[in-house]
Each structure stands twice: as C-alpha cells, then as structure tokens.
Structure 1
Amino acid sequence: MEVLDQLQRTIELKSTPKRIISLVPSQTELLCDLGLEESLVGVTKFCVHPHHITTNVAVVGGTKQVHIDRIKALEPDIILCNKEENTKEIVESCETICPVHVSDIYTIADSIELIKQYGNLFDKQTQAEAISSKIAAEVRDFKVFLKDKQELKVAYFIWKSPWMVAANHTFINHLLELNKFTNAFLELERYPEVFLEASGGYDAVDLVLLSSEPFPFKEKHKDEVQAYFPKAKIVLADGELFSWYGSRLLKAFKYFKMLRLNLENNLAC
C-alpha cells in the first residue's frame, strides 16, 4: 500500500507495520495512547511518556543524534520522524533501513491530521477518531471559555545563555494565539536568539512564560527575567503542554484554563 506523510512524500508499505521506531517524544506518547505500545521496538532517550517506555523499549539515541546501527538491528517496519525535531540527515539514513514517515506540525489541525494518519497507517482508526474528536471538543470548549477574556502580550522563553524565544511559525505560537496571547516577538521567525536590555522596550509585555523545556527554567530565574520585563507577570510554564502535539493535547486545555484563571487572580491583587 501507498500512504503520504505530512511532507506529501509517498511511503510504500507491504502491510500494516508491526515493528515501529519513534524518534519523536510526543509521537511516542501518541502511539501508546493509540494502543501501539507493544509494537514499539525503539524510542529516544527523551521519550518520557509513558514514564516506563525507555525501560521496556530499546533506546536508539536522541532526537538529533541516533545510533543507526542500533536502529538497523531492531529490524523496524517503519520509523517515525518529525521535520523540526529530527535532521534531514537522520531521515535519509533511516530511509536506507525501512520506510520513514515524517510529520510536520504547526497547528492543531496538523496534529489531528497526524493522529488520523497514524490511525490509518497502523489500523487504529477507531482509537484515532476518539482522540481527534476529544481534542476538537476541548478546543471548542476552550474558545467559549476565552470569549470574554482580554488579549495579553506575552514572551515565551525556551532557553537562556543565550536567551531564546518561541516566535512566529511555531506550534508554540499557535497555542499562544489560541490562548489569546499576542507574541511579543511575532515579527521574528521560529526560535531566535534575542538580546535583552534592562533599559526596557518591553513595558507593554503583560506576561513572560518560562518554559520547563528544553531549558529547565526554575523559580530562581524569575527575578533575572523580571529585570527586563518590569511590568510583566513572570510564570513558569509547562513546556510539554505548550509544545507537545498528539494525545498530550488532551491534557493541555485544562492546564490553559487554570493558567488564565490564576493570572486573573494575580492581576486583580
């Protein structure tokens, strides 16, 4: 059979894949929630959901560096990659072993498309439809919740030394927009380095979100950031819920609601 991935590449398969390697943490979690955990033969060291997966399944490296010989030895039927998280070189190397499916996620719609692609690819259509429908319902409910909420100008930091933010054309920015957060660095692309000056220029920023990943921001970093954003509320954010797609989105909107309610309570004080 022939299927298309999210880069519109044609993948040829002899039958439904039974031995799967996932090189993307959020996709590993999705596969497990689709009922495919027993089909996983290889994952990355960053695949932390479900928490036991790296104990039960062979670890083949990270998302940017993999052990091709280890992957080959596992005799996979298919390898699952992502355009952003895995390099072109990794994809090309994996293609010498077996078919490779590449995802490309910028929006909730892209995520739902991927879930349904996996449903068709692995004969898990019923499970994929259930997850997709639940995510769509959560989005609709969240939009109603936000109907009368004010827009907030937000900076979302993913790294320090150097300072780096999530800017335009990212899944994170898509979720910020869904939260009625206007990105303070919207004129920039992807994940740029930014030079911060204590002299200001950021007085209009209402909120700074310090992500838990890839840089693990902690309470101790809040004062450091506050110096650059004197009028902003500084909040530690769950990076998984702002950047992981797939079934992790089932947990995201409850978190987003609590985040907004906490902000309202703090701003009212």
Structure 2
Amino acid sequence: MKYQDQLKRTLEFENTPTRIVSLVPSQTELLVDLGLESLIVGVTKFCIHPASLRKNKTVVGGTKQVHFDKIKNLNPDIILCNKEENTKEMILELEKIAPVHLSDIYNLDDALKLIDLYGKLFSVEKKSEALVSSLENKYKDFRHYIKDQEKLKVAYFIWKNPWMVAANTTFIDAMLRLNSFDNYFGNLERYPEVDLNTIKEDLDVILLSSEPYPFKSADIKELRSRFLRTKVVLVDGEFFSWYGSRLDYAFAYFKTLHQDLSD
C-alpha cells in the first residue's frame, strides 16, 4: 500500500502500521481521538492530551531533540512528524529507523486533509470522516456568527525577551483570519522578533498566547500600561496553534473570546 504525506513524499507499507511514534503533540491527540491510542508506542514530553498518555507510553524527547536509540528500540512501523515542529536533521536520522510521515499545515483545509490522510493510513476512515464532518459543520456555524463581529486589528505574541509574534504563512495567522482579525504583523513572515516601539495607536488588541511562552498577569499589566488604548488578553494558544482534533473545541472558544472582546 502506498500513501503520500503532505510534502508529496511516497510511503509504502505491506500492512496498516500498528506501532506509531508521534513527535507532534497535536497529532498525538488526533490519533487518540481517532481511536488509535493502543497503537502509539512513543510520544514527546509535550504530548499532554490526554494527560495520562505520557505515563503509559515511552517518552522519547521533545519536538526538536529526541533519543534516537529509544525510538529505534520501540521498533516503530511509522514515525509522525511535522515540517515546522521537527527539524530536517531529525527527520533524516529518523528515516533510518522507520518511514516518516510529514504533515505541512498552514490553514484549516490542510488540517482537514491531514485528518483524512490519517483515516486512510491507519484504516479508521469512518472516524476520520465523522471528525471532518463535525469540524466543517462547526466552521460553517462560526462563519455565520463571525460575519456580524467587528473586524479588529490584533497582534498575536508567542514570546518575550525578545518579543516575538505570529506573522504571515503560519497556522496561527490562518486562525486569526478565520476569526476576522486583521494581523497587525501580517506583512511579515513566520515568527519574527518585533520592537514594541514600532507599534502605533491603531492596534485594537494584543493577544498573549499561553504557549510556547507562559505569559502571566504581570505581562498583561506591563503591556496595558504601555498601550493604554489597546486591549490585552491572555488566550489559550492550543486553540490557535493545535491543528488536530482540538479544533473540534476551538470554534466554541473563539465565540467566547469575541464576546469577551466586545465587553
């Protein structure tokens, strides 16, 4: 059986893979929600959903650095990676152990296609189709909701010291646009460092992500004192950056966020 990943690389298997190493937290959660938890043999230390997973599976490292010997000893049939979250050097080394399936996610459509790919690859098509259908229906409902919301200019911060934001050509930017937000740094690419002194008074909202930098109430206070006319809000970064089954809860969260911003 031959399958293509999202970089159009062809992977070939004699049988459906039954020993999975997942090196991307959002994809690990997706596997579980597709009923594949029993097939997972290795995860990262950041695979926190469900919470019990790291106790029951072998933790092989993080998303940027892994213990290749641990992964090899797990004898995986397949290793799941992501072009952005895992390094090229890692992937080249992992390919010596087992076939590596790469995701490449920039928007909701890419995320839906990945769910479909996993359904076919792991022979759980009915579950993947049901999840895709649920997401499409919730997105349709959200589009109806969002058309009446005020379009706000926002900056989405992911790091401090140095200050860094999510800019264009990122999944976060796609989620901002889905929310009818105008990304203040949309003219930049990826995750640039920015100078707070360049921000003008026309910025409506600063969104501080809960990950990867753990912004706290003190950071909110600091920015509010600096940008008096701008709302500063701490948001759950998983709903803006996790592109697996967590999206099934994202649209309800986005509605709540818009309600908070309108108060």
TM-score (norm 1): 0.96
**1:83–1:145 Cα change, 3 Å:** same
Q: Which amino acid aligns with 1:209?
A: L
- Determine if contact 1:158/1:210 at 8 Å carries over to the other structure: yes
1:55-90 Cα shifts (integer Å, max 9, x gaps): 000000000000001000000000000000000111
Alignment gaps of 5+ in structure 2: none
- Partner of 2:196: helix, strand, or coil? coil
* Aligned pairs (5 A) from 1:8-87: 8-87=8-87
3-state DSSP class of the match of 1:141?
A: helix
Quote the residue 1:109 is aligned against. Answer: 109
Q: Tell me how far 1:246 sits from its aligned partner.
A: 1.1
1:231 to 223, 229, 232: 229
Q: Which residue of 2 aligns with 1:210?
A: 208
| Structure 1 equivalent of residue 133 of structure 2 | 133
Please give the secondary structure, in 1, of the residue aligned with 2:135: helix
**SS of aligned partner of 1:203:** coil
Query: Structure 1: how far apart are the matches of 2:101 and 2:238?
Result: 22
Identical pairs, percent: 58
Q: Distance in 2 between matches of 1:26 and 1:201?
A: 32
User: Contact 1:202/1:228 (CA < 8 Å) preserved in 2?
Assistant: no
How far did residue 229 of structure 1 move?
2.6
Q: Is 1:243 aligned to 2:241, yes or no? A: yes
Letter in 1 for 2:41: V
In the aligned structure 2, how far is the partner of 1:31 from the partner of 1:82? 14
- Paired letter, 2:238: E
* One-letter code aligned to 2:125: Q
Give CA deviations for 1:81-138 in whole Å, capped at 9, x if unaligned: 0000000111111100111100000010000000000000000000000011101111
Instruction: State the alpha-carbon separation in 1 of the partners of residues 5 and 90 from structure 2.
Output: 16
After the TM superposition, which segments of 4 or more aligned residues of structure 1 sit over 3 Å from their partners?
A: none
Equivalent residues of 1:23, 1:81 under 8 A apart: yes
Give the Cα–Cα distance (whole angstroms) in 1 for the partners of residues 178 and 151 of structure 2: 10
TM-superposed CA distance for 1:14, in Å, is: 1.4
In 2, the alpha carbon distance for the partners of 1:230 and 1:188 equals 25
Count of aligned positions: 263
Unaligned runs of 5+ in 1: none
SS in 2 for 1:91: helix
Aligned to 2:256, the other structure's residue is in SS state helix
Superposed displacement of residue 226, structure 1: 2.3
The 3-state SS of whatever aligns with 1:247 is coil
SS at match of 1:123: coil
Instruction: Give secondary structure in 1 for the equivalent of 2:128.
Output: helix
Secondary structure (helix, strand or coil) at the match of 2:246 reads: helix
* 8 Å contact from structure 1 (residues 167, 173) kept in 2: yes
Partner of 2:251: 253
1:246 aligned counterpart, secondary structure: coil
d(CA) in 2 for partners of 1:96, 1:259: 45
> 1:30–1:201: structure 2 CA closer, same or farther, 3 Å change rule?
closer
Distance 1:113 1:5 in 2: 10
CA distance in 2, matches of 1:114, 1:201: 36
Letter of the 1:252 partner, please give it: A
Partner of 1:160: 160
The letter for the 1-side match of 2:205 is: L
CA distance in 1, matches of 2:226, 2:167: 18
In structure 2, what is the equivalent of residue 91 of structure 1?
91
SS state at 2:96 partner: coil
